[in-house]
Structure 1
Amino acid sequence: MRLSPLLFVASAMATLDLDLSSRSSIASAASSVAYNMMTYYVGNQTGQVPGILPGSLSCNPNVAGTYCWWEAGAMWGSLINYWQYTDDSTYNSIVSESIQFQRGPQNNFNPPNQSRSMGIDDQVFWAFSALDAVESNFPEAGGDNPSWLALAQGVFNFQTAYWDSATCGGGFRWQVYSFNSGYNLKTMGANGGNFQLSARLAYVTGNSTYGNWANQVWDWMYSSQLMTLSGDDLYIWDSTDTANDCTNADNLVWTYNYGTVLSGAAYMYNYTNGSSVWETRVQQILATTFLLFFPSDYGGNIMIEMECEPKLICNQDQKSFKAYLARSLAITALLVPSTAAQITPKLQATAQAAAESCNGGVCGEQWYLASYDSTTGVGEEMAALSIIGANLMDSSMIPLKLSTGATSTPDPNAGGTTGTTPSTAFTKTITTGDRAGAAILTILGSAFILGGVWWLII
């Protein structure tokens, strides 16, 4: 579905009204943003590939209008959330077709058109969307298609074969295959992503296998250079390098890493029936999230991507990161009720600021400006949709599990053969710009920002 030029102009001339006291107003604003986000999708047009965004087959997030495969997976999850919040089923058939089309021949989100440059973190974003479907009872695709839960379990079964205890005492490498650039890195996207996947599967199924695995991944992350505890704050870094035995981290902080680990910890808190250990971990992550990404310079309640946003140097991947923190904060408030009073004001103030950054459904990146900054793209739209929609979440939307009404059929053996190497027809050496973690190198040129982060720790 494409927006006609005349409709686009009319939309861009209107402001995005948002009254947070009115559920219908919030839903209407979310609808406008979702509509504009979907104008970037052409996979449902004749001759196009369902499920992916423009540029996904080459994936260079430093090129305008180019989106990596994983971001499409995340986008479908944002539309599942949108359906849950608003009961608007406009996009449901496209979402269902897209996720199933990209599941791959072994039903583990490793399709041939992407396996040449597959990252552990790439797969989990598609698995997260499948779990969003499970936890909201999003309609199953039916027919010969695997269930949403089976798809998530397939990713888990695929990934456990890649736990690397031979270097750095454990953890997941960023890339699945050794011929890809970045294979030497162990990243928070990969490890935090698998942690959340495992925690959610434990929560949904009640199976201790997943819970035990989530604990294993957490323990490795916590003991590694990817996490640094400073007082009550838990700093979560982007990557560490096996080339130097993971003796240091890059000291880059991103909203999506915090969101990924925060919600994983919240699911573990609920899965363990309110463990004080997990509540403490949630609070530590939350305190640091507020410190870094809701700075007092902008009032203390408006979310910012601190590494790149002030200078407008975020790439296409990074522009979407705030979407994942927004969703994670909303989920955490439901799963760990003691956090709701802290989180709700942040969600409300940020949603209002995000709405003010939009011209109609065309949303910008710098929410703290309270005006449109002339940027636009899938990431900006998804982030605005997620933070606005998060204000519709209430206790009726606590994620479902099999014991509380989730109806998706489990398949503990899903996923086919693990460790399958892609054919040479689909292999190539990728650049660091190919993945969400491309920020590791591309942002180093802005090292002046890091001084502020170090100052906070010291």
Structure 2
Amino acid sequence: MKFSSSTFGALGASVLLASGVGAIELDITSPQSIKDAAKIAAAGLRLWYTGDRPGDVPGNLPDPYYWWECGAMFNAFIDYWYYTGDNQYNKITEQAMIHQIGDYQAFMPPNQTKTLGNDDQAFWGMAAMSAAENKFPDPPSDQPSWLSLAQAVFNTQAMRWDTTSCGGGLKWQIFAFNNGYDYKNTISNGCFFNIAARLFKYTGNQTYADWAAKAWDWELAVGLMSPDYHYFDGSDDKINCSQINHIQWTYNAGVHMAGAAAMWNVTESEEWRTKLDGVIDAASIFFSKDAPNVMFEVACEQNGKCDVDQRSFKAYLSRWMGYTAKVAPWTREKIMPKLEASAQAAAKQCNSGENQTTCGLRWTNNGVNDGSFGVGEQMAAMEVMQALLLDEVAGPVGMDTGGTSKSNPEAGSQAEDVPISFDDITTGDKAGAGFLTTLVLIGVLGGAWWMVS
């Protein structure tokens, strides 16, 4: 179902009517205050979702939002339940996740084929991974487990690892008839790395670790990642990735940060500690000097050029900074001041009313709402506030640490005649009972830095 202009206008008017009401109250030293603030932001986010209405499609957002962002939104609701214990959005989350499973039980619904990218699929896969890690209530027994859904996404994507150009990597789009098929973008490969690393942490299966390292090393070799851990948008495989689009986005830093944190958590190696430390330091580019430690989207926020997708990106850096601080506790000293300052700034520029709250894009606006509102803005504010509750939760589980989601290492392998080759099943596996880039391709020949000016 799509919003009619009158429906959208009514919602917009109701949101704007709240603009004169005070900001969300947030005391970062009080878990209850943080929960109360996150609850207000979550209620505002829920207003945008229509997929549970009669005649609508569970798991879809109305125009102008693409399918991937709905997967990202339900990940946010899974995290909300995990951090706060409030289960009021669990039912719509389970309904949406199951409805969108699609082909190969790998989040490949046929009605999304014309726009289905590896990053789109991965955002739903990462939501399933979060559900497994956070012990989100298991789906009905006749449905695949959360863990197996993430494994199916990994397997289908590993089969697509493309060595015909650029020495490897995933293409942005899954199908050759889609625009962007010749682009190898960082978010698709970063999401693949993230899922592989977290599957390694959850299951202990070395195959996932090997693929995570392979994806990381390829990104560095081809130039999507710099030696000092800055992440760029992507490159055209028709020129063998010989030139890179150097725009930097928050979500590229975040997705690699969380994956590196998972790898360190399992290995406790100096190699992954160094890498994770480097990613965190390089992510400082996304924190304002004028409003110290407040997150902003460096490529488009200050010049007002953020599109619908890009207005959600801070949600994912916030999400994965919280994850990182939890699974790699030594990172807290660097991460928590940024999360706290950003959460306070986000709360100050949200306009809260009795029945709804709208949060703007520019947290650096010194408490003034910039008039931008939508799913992305709301989700970002919610994520950065609820991440402050990381000390209230035990942390992501694995098969040997209380996880209940069943493992299926071969999930999704039916997508190809030749399935993925796995190493020997680990003890953890046996215990299994218990771009996204929607921006139009920016030319890599010539400066894409117009967005930063």
Q: Same fold (TM over 0.5)?
A: yes
Corresponding residue of 1:298: 291
Measure, in 2, the Cα distance between the counterparts of 1:241 and 1:445. Answer: 14
Q: Deviations over 1:81-117 (max 9, x none)?
A: 0001110000000000001100103210000011222
Aligned counterparts of 2:264 and 2:449: Cα–Cα separation in 1: 36
Which of 275, 280, 283 pairs up with 1:281? 275
3-state SS, counterpart of residue 359 of structure 1: strand
For residue 314 of structure 1, the aligned residue among 306, 318, 325 is: 306
Alignment match of 1:251 (pick from 211, 226, 246): 246
Residue equivalent to 1:23 = 31
Does residue 352 of structure 1 match 2:344?
A: yes
Residues 388-422 of structure 1, C-alpha deviations (whole Å, 9 max, x = no match): 001111173321111110110111111252259xx
Structure 1 residue runs of 5 or longer lacking an equivalent are 56-65, 421-433, 452-458
Residue 26 and residue 442 in structure 1: after superposition, are their counterparts in 2 closer, same or farther (change >3 A)? farther
After superposition, give the CA deviation of every residue in 1:310-329 in whole Å (9 maximum; x if it has no partner). Answer: 12211110000000000111
Give yes or no for contact 1:254–1:307 (8 Å, CA) kept in 2.
yes
Residues 1:447 and 2:446 are matched in the alignment: no
Q: Which residue of 2 aligns with 1:379?
A: 376
Give the C-alpha shift of residue 347 in structure 1.
0.4
- Describe the shift of the 1:228–1:416 C-alpha distance in structure 2 as closer, same or farther (beyond 3 A): closer
Is 1:85 matched with 2:83?
yes
Is the Cα–Cα contact under 8 Å of residues 172 and 184 in structure 2 kept in the other structure?
Answer: yes
Identify the residue that residue 61 of structure 1 maps to in structure 2. Answer: none
Residue 366 of structure 1: SS of its match in structure 2?
coil
Equivalent of residue 368 in structure 1, options 364, 371, 374: 364
- What amino acid maps onto 1:41 in structure 2? Y
For residues 128 and 100 of structure 1, the distance between their equivalents in structure 2, rounded to whole angstroms, comes to: 14
Whole-angstrom distance in 2 between the partners of 1:319 and 1:347: 18
Task: State whether structure 2 residue 258 is matched by structure 1 residue 263.
Answer: yes
- State the alpha-carbon separation in 2 of the partners of residues 100 and 144 from structure 1: 11
- Whole-angstrom CA distance in 1 between matches of 2:145 and 2:104: 13
The answer as to 2:319 corresponding to 1:327 is yes
1:71 alignment counterpart: 69
Q: Which amino acid aligns with 1:20?
A: I
CA distance in 2, matches of 1:188, 1:332: 20
Once the two structures are superposed, residues 140-168 of structure 1 have per-residue CA deviations (whole angstroms, 9 ceiling, x without a partner) of 12131111001001111111110011211
Q: What aligned pairs does 1:16-415 form with structure 2 within 5 A after superposition?
A: 16-55=24-63, 66-229=64-227, 233-272=228-267, 274-290=268-284, 292-299=285-292, 301-360=293-352, 361-369=357-365, 370-394=367-391, 396-415=393-412
Q: CA distance change for structure 1 residues 46 and 335 in 2, over 3 Å: closer, same or farther? A: same
> For the structure 1 residues 15 and 198, does the alpha-carbon distance in structure 2 shift closer, same or farther, using more than 3 Å as the test?
same
SS in 2 for 1:392: helix
Q: Identify which range, 345-354 or 410-419, moves more after superposition.
A: 410-419
For 1:128, give the aligned amino acid. M
Give the AA of the match of 2:263.
M
- CA–CA separation in structure 1 for the residues paired with 2:441 and 2:338: 28
Contact 2:188 2:436 in 1 (8 A): no
> What SS does the aligned partner of 2:42 have?
helix
When the two structures are aligned, how many residues end up with a matched partner? 421
Q: 2 CA distance for matches of 1:235 and 1:284?
A: 9
Deviation at 1:435, TM superposition (A): 5.2
Which moved further from structure 2: 407-416 or 193-202?
407-416
Write the deviation string for residues 310-369 of structure 1: whole angstroms up to 9, x where unpaired: 122111100000000001111111122221011111000000000011001210000010
**Paired letter, 1:403:** D
Specify the alignment match of 1:456 in structure 2: none
Contact 2:173 2:181 in 1 (8 A): yes
> 1:116 aligns to what SS in structure 2?
helix
The CA distance in 2 between the partners of 1:359 and 1:29, in whole Å, is 12
- The AA in structure 1 aligned to 2:360 is G
The question of whether the paired residues in 2 share the 8 Å contact of 1:73 and 1:129 is answered with yes
Q: Which amino acid aligns with 1:342?
A: K
TM-score relative to the length of structure 1: 0.88
How far 1:219 moved relative to its partner?
A: 1.1
Residues 440/280 of structure 1: CA separation in 2 closer, same or farther (3 Å cut)? farther
Question: Structure 2: 5+ residue runs without aligned partners?
Answer: 1-6, 418-434
Question: Which runs of structure 1 show a deviation greater than 4 angstroms over 4 or more consecutive aligned residues?
Answer: 2-12, 442-446
CA RMSD, Structure 1 to Structure 2 (Å): 2.2
Indicate the percent of aligned positions where both proteins have the same amino acid: 40
* DSSP-derived class of the 1:397 partner: coil
